[in-house]
Amino acid sequence: MQSYQLLIEMAKKITSTMESDLILQFIIDEIVAVIPGVDAGGLYLYEEDKNLLRMSASCNLVYRDEQPYLRLGESISGKSFVRRDCVALNSTKVFADYIEQQPTLMTTRHKYPCSAMTCCMLIEDQAVGVVSVYNHLHNDMQFTQDDLDLLRAAANHAALIINKSKLIKQKDFYISQLSAMVEIQSSFTNILLDNGGFEGIIDYLKKVVGEDVMLYDAFFQQIYSTDPMQTDALPTQFLNEDFLQKVNAHDNFDPIILSHGDSYITVSPVAGKGRLLGFLLVHMQTPTMLNQIQIIVNYASLVIALEWMRQDAATKRVSDRYNKFFEMVLTAPADAKTIHYAEQLSLNSEDDFCVLIVSGNSPDKQPPLHRESFADMMMQKIVTVLRRSAVRGIVFSHEDDIYIIFSFDNNKTSAKKIIRRISEQLLELHDSINIAEGGVHHSLSNIKRSVEEARLCQKMLALGANNVRSVCYDELGIWQILLRLEQGLIRDYAVNILHGLPTGDDEKSREFYQTLQAYILNNKNIRNTARDLNLHHNTVYYRVTRMEEILGVDFADEQDWLNIQIACTICQQLITD
């Protein structure tokens, strides 16, 4: 009864120090003090990552530092842990039988204990450690079943306290983690409210995770990087179809880890309203990311998506204003209302204006998520080109194309040179881009005229002749008239004029057609035509004469020759056979 009373007192003392880092020492000290005949003891805790028992507290064990760890099954403590039992060992032979070998508990420099007890600490059938106590002083004393029951009760109570202490520490840890996450989220929110943009968000993310961070758009173009020297290409996996399919397969856009040389990159897709906007990249030294860091990166991706959509919304509002102005100049005269609206857009109604139509589609091989982002990406890049060129104008999307309305002081020659330079820069943005350029005209009322001319250039581009990607209205020549006619009428005219010439893919047909085209280009000069075709001039003369006979025309007649020139020009653009 006295022993159990001592156990209760021990429990009270242990419980009163439950939140202290010294709890393990309190436990073993109280166990040694409570159980009669015990003069030393040790408490081992199981470390799962090392699969070892670590000496975590001891009382009167002078050899503690010599055995800070025990392998499972080693000595009576290691064996008790493996067997999940509680035993009293009252002789050397019992020690040896228990551990099935010569005892390794003591070294030759220390006195072997007269008796000992060991008990595994269990929580819901899971072993968390071992308590072992020793009797070195009383040779004739042996531990009884009551002593063993007392140790078992103490060990069970100690296990509960240890577990509860761990839970308290775990709870405190989670509370601190939650507090830190709330602070981080608040900081991200403040950056959004302060219009810190991508730069502010990514710089703060680097500060939190301690690694370099980069942001790319959906077409792998770098938008911002915390490392100014980071200009190398993305990992090759980005261009791999398997990776793109993996990205598209993630409805929730989970992060993906890729190897990159000797390091790793966490790729967190940035998405908004089910549309892929870009990629957030975080460099790492190991292929694993702490759970907290992953949560932060995921949240940063969400914040970037919100900023992205905010910028898109602002761009759309501006684009809507430009579209309203565009509809006004197309459908109404340049009245006071239209002029006032133009002034609000920083356009002078008495300037010269020119319209460019930029068209093009994302290549079919791109995933659907990328194709949806193509127009947005091109809009941003075109705006950037204009800003760098310091040219006045507005950029907006209309139907399936992007329109640019340039505004210049009254100098058409200078305006045309600037437009040509900008067009060349725009063509470099993407291989699929085509540019239709209207003429330069004075005053707001003539924007409609430039639009119509640009749309005629679009018709010319649609013919696909010679893989031309840019057409200027001022350079169309006779096509300024032809493009205003129905294509069927134009085709019939050319066929009627050239009717009778051999057609097809045979050598004779090609000879006649090539000779006629070269003859036109050389302004009916036989010798120059022969030189270009690498033929004798008599051969060219024969073919020219024969074509006059077949067509029933006289190339010396100005009207006949004009009809032939126009028909051949049409054939180059419209007729493939």
The predicted-structure confidence for 41-81, as pLDDT tens digits, reads as follows 999 999 888 899 988 889 988 765 557 889 998 889 999 99
Whether the pLDDT of residue 40 is over 80: the answer is: yes
pLDDT band at residue 489 under the 50/70/90 scheme? confident
Residue 494 clears pLDDT 90, i.e. is over it: no
Structure tokens at 194: 């302060």
Tell me the mean pLDDT in the region 367-380: 64
Q: What element of type H or E holds 160?
A: helix 145-193
User: Which of the listed ranges 102-111, 181-190, 323-332 does the model predict with the highest average pLDDT?
Assistant: 323-332
Whole-number Å distance between alpha carbons of 296 and 302: 10
**Higher-pLDDT residue of 21, 220:** 220
Task: Return the pLDDT at 438.
Answer: 94
Reply yes or no on whether the pLDDT at 97 is more than 90. no
Q: pLDDT at position 422, please?
A: 93
At 108, is the pLDDT very low, low, confident or very high (cuts 50, 70, 90)? very low
- pLDDT of 333 reads 77
Mean pLDDT, all residues of the chain: 80
pLDDT at residue 107, as a whole number = 39
Q: What is the mean pLDDT of residues 249-262?
A: 64
Average pLDDT over residues 395-414: 88
Q: Could you give the CA distance from residue 19 to residue 85 in angstroms, rounded to a whole number? A: 28
pLDDT mean over 509-535 = 87
Q: What is the mean pLDDT of residues 218-241?
A: 66
Helix or strand run (H / E) with residue 275 = strand 275-284
Burial environment of residue 70 by CB neighbours within 10 A (0 to 12, 13 to 18, 19 or more)? buried
Least confident window among 19-28, 177-186, 382-391, 530-539: 19-28
| pLDDT score for 125 | 81
* pLDDT in the model for residue 19: 45
Q: 239 pLDDT band (50/70/90 cuts)?
A: low
pLDDT exceeds cutoff 80 at 235 = no
The confidence score (pLDDT) of residue 404 equals: 93
Lowest mean pLDDT among 75-89, 101-115, 321-335, 541-555: 101-115
* Residue 44 contacts residue 67 (beta carbons within 8 Å): no
In this predicted structure, the answer to whether residue 260 has a pLDDT above a threshold of 60 is: yes
Higher pLDDT, 389 or 103: 389
Query: Over 50: is that where the pLDDT of 342 sits?
Result: yes
Cross-strand partners of 395: 404
Rg (CA), the chain: 43
Return the higher-pLDDT residue of 177 and 139: 139
Unique residue bearing structure tokens 């075109």: 382
pLDDT of amino acid 105: 47
pLDDT of res. 248: 55
How confident is residue 473, by pLDDT bands cut at 50, 70 and 90?
Answer: very high
Distance (Å, whole) CA 28 – CA 31: 5
pLDDT at 231: 56
pLDDT at 508 over 80: no
Tracing tokens 């010569």 back to the chain, one arrives at: 102
Residue 191 half-sphere exposure toward CB, CA atoms < 13 A:
21
Residues 6+ apart with CB under 8 A from 80: 86, 87, 118, 119, 120, 130, 132
Distances (CA, A) of 422 to 261, 314, 346, 412: 39, 25, 20, 15
Mean pLDDT score, 338-358: 90
- Characterize 399-425 residue by residue with b for buried, 16 or more Cβ atoms within 10 angstroms of its Cβ, and e for exposed: eebbbbbbbbeeeeeebbebbeebbee
End-to-end CA gap in the chain: 114
